[in-house]
Amino acid sequence: IKTEFTKKLTNIKMKEKEKAVLICELSKENTKVIWKKNGKEIQSDNHLKIVADMKVHQLIIENVTLEDIGEYSCAAGDVSTSATISVEELPVVIEPDTEIKPEFTKKLTNIKMKEKEKAVLICELSKENTKVTWKKNGKEIQSDDHLKIVADMKVHQLIIENVTLQDIGEYSCATGDVSTSATISVE
C-alpha cells in the first residue's frame, strides 16, 4: 500500500517569539520523512525540533524569529506536503526618555580593496540587539547571495566575499537618528 498524507501541513502565521508547530500525518507508521525549508533539507538543531511519533510528524520551533519565515515541506518517498510559516515582527516599545538611545561606539571606516577580495565593514553600538538599517548610496540593502549582513550582540557587519567594481560606493548603518558611513573603493 502506498504511503499517503492523511493530514497535510497547513500555513501558519505567528508573532515573533511564539511557538510554531507544523504537523502532518501519514497513512503508515514509522515512515522515514525528509523535512525541507525553502527546498533545503533541515534537521533538528537547538532552534528547531523534528519529532516523529508513529504516523504523526512535527516540526517545532520554540521561539520563532523572522529568520524562520519560509516554505517548509515534509516528504515521504514521492509524496510530500508543504506549508508556509509567516512571522510578524513584534513592535518595538519605546519607553519615554528612560530608554538610553543607542550610539555608535565604533564607527564604519573607509576600506580600499582589490577585486575578488573579501570586504568587511564593521561598526559597534552601545546597546545589544539594536535593529539597524544598512544602505548603499542611500538605498536600503539586505543580505543576498552576494553580500551578508550579520548582527551579533552589539557588533554589526556587512560582508562581501568577492568584491567587484559594482560594490564601489558609500555604505551606511543607521538606527534611530544615529548613523555611521564609509566608502568601499575597489581597484
pLDDT exceeding 90 applies to what percent of the chain? Answer: 86
The answer, yes or no, to whether residue 85 has pLDDT greater than 60, is yes
Number of domains into which the chain is organized? 2
Q: Look up the pTM and report it.
A: 0.50
Q: Which of 28-32, 87-91, 119-123 has the highest mean pLDDT?
A: 119-123
124 and 83 in a common domain: no
Q: Which residues contact 36 (CB under 8 A, 6 or more apart)?
A: 42, 72, 73, 74, 75
- Please report which confidence band the pLDDT of residue 183 belongs to, taking 50, 70 and 90 as the band edges: very high
Q: Which domain CATH number covers 43?
A: 2.60.40.10
Domain of 176, in residue numbers: 104-186
Q: Which residues contact 13 (CB under 8 A, 6 or more apart)?
A: 85, 86, 87, 88
115 and 82 in a common domain: no
139 and 81 in a common domain: no
CB atoms within 10 A of CB 185: 14
For 135-155, the pLDDT digits (tens) are 999 999 999 999 999 999 999
116 and 79 in a common domain: no
Which of 56, 88, 120 is the C-terminal boundary of a domain? 88
Residue 80 corresponds to which cell in the numbers above?
Answer: 510530500
125 and 171 in a common domain: yes
